[in-house]
Structure 1
Amino acid sequence: MAAESKGKERKKLSLSDKGTLSLKNTPKIPDRNSGGHGVAVEVRRKRSAPSQTTQEDAQKDRTLTDEEREARIKALKSAEMEGASKPETSLPKPPPIADAARKKQEDERRRQEAQEAREKAEQDKQTAEKTAAAAPAAKEADIADQQAAENRKATGRKTAGYRVADEAAESEESKEKKKLAAPVKRGEKRRDTGRLTVTQALNRDFETRDRMPSLAAQRRAREKERMRMLAEKQKIEHVKQVREVTIPEAITVQELANRMAERIGDVVKKLLEMGVMATANQTVDTDTAELIVQEFGHKSKRVSESDVEMGMLGDDDDDENLKPRPPVVTIMGHVDHGKTSLLDALRQTDVAAGEAGGITQHIGAYQITMPGGQKITFLDTPGHAAFTEMRARGADVTDIVVLVVASNDSVMPQTIEAIKHAKAADKPIIVAINKCDLEDADPEKVRSELLQHDIQVESFGGDVQCIEVSAITKKGLGELEEAILLQSEILELKANPDRSAVGAIVEAKLEQGRGSVATVLIQRGTLKIGDIFVTGSEWGKVRALMNDHGKPLKKAIPGQPVEVLGLNGSPNAGDDFVVVRSEAKAREIAEFRTRRNRALEIAKTNKTGLEHLMHHMEKGNVKELNVVVKADVHGSVEAINGALLKLTEDNTEVRINILHGAVGGITETDVTLAQASGAVILGFNVRANVQARDLASKEGVEIRYYSVIYEAIDDMKALLSGLLSPEIRENMIGYAEIRQVFSVSKIGKVAGCMVREGIVKRGAGVRLLRDDVVIHEGKLKTLRRFKDEVKEVREGYECGMAFESYDDIKEGDVIEVFEKTEHARELE
C-alpha cells in the first residue's frame, strides 16, 4: 500500500504533458516571399482563472517525507535533461503574439483618431462657410483636405498591418524585436515569460494578487474621489432656505435663533444694530422678534399661548333659554355709616357685632328671601380707605349699588369714592339715608350734597331712588326692598341655568381642615359637586358647596353666592370662575396663566433704562422696612399691602418693602424668610403655629398680630417714623465779646472774653463773628477761669477761650455759643 501511495504521489509530482511547456503543432505561416501575402491570425482562447489548491493538498505538500522530496527532485532533474537533449525543430518561429496584438490596438486607435479628425474638420468647414468670408473658407477647406489625405494614407498603411511584402514595416518590426521590453507598470497585465517555477505552480493566485492596488493606493483613490465630490458640491450655488417661524408672545433670543436655524451671535448682532441689548437667555417681545425674522429673510407667524383660553366661556346664550335670576346688590358707603347694620336688619341677624373694631374687613355675600318668594343677593363691602380694591371689585360683579349715607354725617370721602366706582362700572344707584332715628339727622342736607357729585334723587327731579331708613328701628326697610326689586325688573336680569357655570371670586381664604375656600358668585349656569373648574392660575374639583348660612348644597344657580371647597391653591379675589370639560384642560389653562404671571414678574424686575438706574442709585441711600404680611383672606392681604405702600410713596428717605403676602397662618417658612431679611411679620386675623413661634423666639424675629386694619397701619407708620433721621435743631445758649488776645505757648492764641448773655459751655459749638459776618464755626478747645479749667461760665463773668485749629481772633470779635439737639420726626 505504501508503494502504491508513493507511486501515486510520484506521478502527481512528475511533469506530464499538461505541465511541460513544449512546442506543438503551431499554425503554419506562409513564406513572406511567396505570392500569397496572406495575414497570419492567431486565435487565442480566453485564459481561465488558475485553479486554487485546496487546503487539504496544501496541507499534504507541507508534510512531505524525505523520500518523497528526493523523488520529486529526481523527477525534476530528469525532465530538465530530457528537454535539453531534444533536438531543436527547424520550423519557422511564429510571429510575436503580444507585439501583433499591441500593433493591432495601436492601428485601431489611430484609425479612430483619424476618423475623429476628419469629422472635426468637416464641422469646422461648415462653420467657417457660414460665418467667415469666401477666401478664409477656401483656405480652411484646403487645409482640411490635406489633413484628410494624410489621414487616408496613414489609415491605408495601418490597415495592412500584417502584410509581409512591406519591407519598411519588416525593418521596424525587427528593430522593435531587438529593443528591450519596457518595464511593466504597477496594475498593468504582465507578459507570460514562458517559464513556470514550483513556487508559481503552488501559488497560482500570484497574478491576481499582484494586479490589485495596495491599501495606500486605495486610500489615495478614496481621498481623491472625496475631494472631487466636495469641489462639485462647492460649485453648486447655496440657496438659503426660507422658513416659517412661529413667534409666541414671549420668546428668548436663543429659541428664536433655533427656530430660524441661524447662529445666536448673528441674531444678537442684529439686535444690537436695532438698538436692543439682549443676551441669548433674555426674552424679547413679539414685535422685536418679528422684525428680526424679517431681517433674516424668513416668514413670521404670530401665535398666542392664550389660545388655550379660547372657547372657555362657551357660546352666548339664546334668549329662549334665559330665565329670571335674583339681583346682586352691593352695599357701599363710608366707614361707620351703618352698612353692615342695615344688612343685619334686612337679614335679621347680627353680623356687625362679630366684626373686629365694629368695621367690616371682608366682602360678605348673603342671600335673603322676601315674603313674596323673591330672592336678593347682597354683597357687603368695607368702607375703610384701605379697602379700595374690594369696593371696586364689588361694583364690578354687582347689578345694583345701594349707597348708604349717614344722615348726621352727610357725604364723606369713601362715599365719593363709592359713587365713582359705581359710575365707572355703569351700575344704577339707590341711595339709602341711614340713621334717620337720630336727633341731629338731616336727610335734606344729604340730598343737596349728593347733587355736587352728580347724584340727583327723585325728589329733586332726578331718576335716582332715595329711601330714608333706620337699621335700629327698621324704618324704611320694606321700601328699600321694593326699590331694589323695582330696579331689577327694569334691568330685566336673566341667565341660562342649563349650562356649565361661570362666576366670579368674591373672596378667598385658607382654613384649617378645609383647605382653600373661595366665595363664588354664580353669574351663569349651574355649579354642581364634581365639576372641574379654573379660577385665575388655580384649578380644582368641587368637593362641597356651602350657602351663606353654612349649610351644604348640591348645586348653585345663577345669582347665588356659595362657598366652594376643592381648590388646589388660593385664588385672588376678583378672578373669574369657569367650569371646564376635563381635568387636562383645566391644568393646561392654569399652567399657561402661571407662566404668564411669572413672565410679567420677570419683566418688571428686568426693566432697564435711565429711570431704573436712578431708582437703584437712590435706593442705596433709602432706609427700608421689610415686612411679611399674612392674613385670613386675600382681600385683607390686598388692602394691607396697598395701605402700607401708600405710606411711603411720597417719602424719599424711607421705603417699605413687602417681601411676601399670602393667605393663611404664619409658618416656619415665613419666620425663616423674615430672619434672613430682618423683616417684621404682620399677622392679620391669623396666628403662628407652635413650630413657627419657637423658631421666632429662638431667632429673635418679631411677630405682630392685628385684628383691625387701621391699627396695623398706624403701627407700621410708627416703625417707619423711627427709621427717619432725626431733625437737628440749634439752640443759642450765650454770647461773649473778646476784650483781649493772649498768646500761650502750648495752646496758642487765647481770647479773654466777657460773657454778655446766657451761658458758655465747654464742648459747645461756637461761631466767630466779625462785623456781623460769620468767619469761623467750630468747637471750644479750652474754657478757663483764673487759669483753671471749668465746664461753664455764666453771664457777667470773664473767661478765657481757645478754638480748635483756629487762631485768627481779634479784639472786638463776638463769639456766639450754641447747642445742637435732635428731635424725632414723624411720617406724614
Structure 2
Amino acid sequence: MSDKDKKPLGLRGGPRSGHVKQSFSHGRTKSVVVETKRKRVVTPKPGAAAKSGGGQQTKGPSPSAPRPDGISDAEMERRMKALAAAKAREAEDAERRAEDERKREEERARKKAEIEAKEREEREREERARQKAEEEERARADAERKEAEPAPAAAQPAAPAPDAEPGRAPDRKAPKKAERKPEEPRREKAGKGGDRRRSGKLTLNQALSDEGGRQRSVAAMRRKQERARQKAMGGTQQREKVTRDVQLPETIVVSELANRMAERVADVVKALMQNGIMATQNQSIDADTAELIIEEFGHRVVRVSDSDVEDVIDQVEDDPKELKPRPPVITIMGHVDHGKTSLLDAIRKANVVSGEAGGITQHIGAYQVTTDGGTVLTFLDTPGHAAFTSMRSRGAQVTDIVVLVVAADDSVMPQTIEAINHARAAGVPMIVAINKCDRPGADPDKVRTELLQHEVIVEKMSGDVLDVEVSAINGTGLDELLDNIALQAELLELKANPDRAAEGAVIEAQLDVGRGPVATVLVQKGTLRQGDIFVVGEQWGKVRALVNDHGERVKEAGPSVPVEVLGLNGTPEAGDVLNVVETEGQAREISEYRTEQSKEKRATAGAATSLEQLMAKAKEDENVAELPILVKADVQGSAEAIVQAMEKIGNEEVRVRVLHSGVGAITETDIGLAEASGAPVMGFNVRANAPARQAANQKGVEIRYYSVIYDLVDDVKAAASGLLSAEVRENFIGYAEIKQVFKVTGIGKVAGCIVTEGLARRSAGVRLLRDNVVIHEGTLKTLKRFKDEVKEVNMGQECGMAFENYEDIREGDVIEIFEREEIERSLD
C-alpha cells in the first residue's frame, strides 16, 4: 500500500458538532450546539473489486458522487451560503442594537441636562427672591429706626462716645459698623430658611434638606414685627381691659363661662384651681362659684333665671303698617257622618274619604283651595266623632271661620251641639251648611228650627248667621258657600305680617317611616322657610323640608298656609306652638328648659313614673272595679282622643283606667307593664314588634288591634259593663317578609316573600306593615309557590304574593296573615 492510500487512524463516520446562533425579538440571541451524524458509506477496495468482478473494469467517480463524509458538493455549497447569510444578519442586528443604545444614551444625557438646567434656574430664582426679601426687610428696619430716632438739633453738638478720648473727634465709621452688627444674625437666619415662607415657592429639595426644623407661621412673623415696631416706638403698650356683662344662669359649663367672658379656658380652669375647685372645661359649676370667678377676672355679673331663655322668642306686636292680607282659615265641624269630608272633597275635587279607615276621618287634615274668583281659602277638616273633641277644640283655636255641617235628613245631633260650643268658645263667626239636601227625607227648615234651640239664628230666620243648602254628592250650592266664606273673610279683614320670624300651631304630629318626626303646622305669623331653626313645645329642629297639601316640596310658607315640617328631633304634641329662633343653641336651651319644666310638673302632680307607682295608683280605690288598659296609637292626637274617651266610660261601680298611652309600635316594655297589671294592650293603627309578640304569647297578654276608634270604644264599653256579645276575633296565622319586588306583565307588582312565622293561606286576610305601622289591609290576588298557584305556604318557604288593587310594596315590608272567627266573649 502506498503512502497516498494511507489514512490517519480514527473513527470515521462519527458525529460532527457546530454552533448556530438563534435570533429573537428585542435584539436577543442564543447560541445552540448542533450535532450532525455522518452517514457511513461502504467503498469497495480496488483489489476486492477486481477479484470479485472477474476482470471487470471499475468506473471513475462522477461529479455528483457523494464526498467521503456523505455530503454532496451541492449540499455543502448550499450550507455555506446559509451560514454566510446568518453571519450577515447577525452583524446587522449587532449594528442596529449599537445604534439604539447610542440613541438612548443621547436621550438620557439630554434629559439630565434639562433637569440640571431647571434646578439651576430654580436655585437662581430663589436666591434672587431671598436677596430681594432681605433687602426689603433691611430697608424697612432702617426706615423704622430712622422714625424712632429723634431728629438732631442744629444747636446741640453730637455727644462723644463714652469711650472716646478727650479732645479727639469721634470716628464716624463706628456707628455704621455698630448698625451692621444686628443685621448679621438676622441675615444668617434668613439664609437658613427662617423666612422661607416669604421667599416664594418652596421646592422638594429645600424641604428635605432643611435643617432648621419647624418653621414659624406667618402669624408668628407678624407678631414679631409688631413687637419690634412697638419696641422701636418706645416700649410695648398694654391693651386696655374690656369689662363685660356676663349673663349667669343657675349652672354653667366652664368652657361656656370662659366664652362669655372672652377669656382663655386654661386661665379660667387655673383660677378655679387656685380657689380650691378642681373642674375641667366640660364640667358645670354653680352660680356662686361662677360669680366669684367672674369678679376675679374683672367683669360684671348679670344673674338670669332658667326661664329667661324663652325671652329670645320674639313677642313684639306687629306694626299695623307692615300687616298684609292673608287667606282665612276655615274649620269644618259637625256630627259624624254628616258629610264634612265629602263636602270638602267636592270643594277640592279630590278623593279624601277613601283614604280613611271605614270612610271616617281619623286625623286633622289641612288643605288650601283657590276659588273661581281667585280667593285662597285654607280648610281644616276635623273628625266628627265625640272621641275627637280635643282635636276639634284645637282646630277651633286656630281658625277664623267655622262651617257647621248639618245633615238635612238627620238634623241636629250631640256632636253638632259640641261644635257650636267650640265655635262660641273660640269667638269666631259661623256659617251653617245644610248638607244632603238631595235625599228624599231632607228637611232644611227642620234643621233651622232645631238650631234655634241652641241660639243659632240663621238669616232665613231673621238672624245674622249665614246658611247655605248644599249637596256634596251633586255639587249644588258649593259656589254660594264659597262666596259666603269669602264675604265673611272680607268683613273680618284678616291680616298678618309675613316679614317676621314665623309662628304657627301644630295641627297634628306623627312619626313617619323614612322621614322621621313630621308635624303638620299652620303658619299664623311670619314666613317659615327651609333652613329655619325653630322650637316647638319640648322639641326643636331645623326645617329640612316643607311639603304642602298636594305633596309637593316648597321653599317657604306664609301666613295661613298649612305645611308638613320635616327636621324635628322628636315628635311634638298636637296644639304646640312653633317659634323660629336665631341659633341652634337658643333652640336647644329652650327645649331643655321646657323638658325639665314638664318633668317637674309631672312629678309635682304625682304622675306615676315607675311600675310600682302604677300598681299603687291602680289599687288606691278598692271599692271601685277598674278595667286597666294600655293604649298605643300612631299619632299623638289619636292617643289623646282615646284616653279622653276612656275617661268618660264607666260609673260609680266600674271605671276604665288607662295605665299608659303613647305613640309608636307596641314594645316589650308595654307587654311587661300589661302583664304586671293584668291589662290588655289596645293598638290603634300600630302593631307589636317581634320581641313584643313573643313576650305576649309567653306571658298570656292580650293584644287587640283597631283601625276605627268606634270599635275600640265600643269594645271597652262592653267589657266594662259586662254586656259581652259575640265578637269577631282575628287569629294571626303567619307573617311573611318581602325580600324582592318584581313587576309582572298583566298582574302588576309581585312580592317575592319568605314566610317567617306560621303559614300563608290564600283565603286569609292580609295587612301590609311598614315599621310595625299598618299601611294597607286587604286580600291576596295571588299566592304562588314557584310557578304554581297554591293554597298554603309553610314557614321557611319562599312564595310570591300580589295584593288586590294595591301595588305600593317595598323590600323589607312585612305581610301579616290573619283569619277572622266568631267567638263568645267572657270576662276573666
- TM (norm. structure 2) is 0.49
Q: Which has the larger radius of gyration?
A: 1
Q: TM-score, normalised by structure 1?
A: 0.49
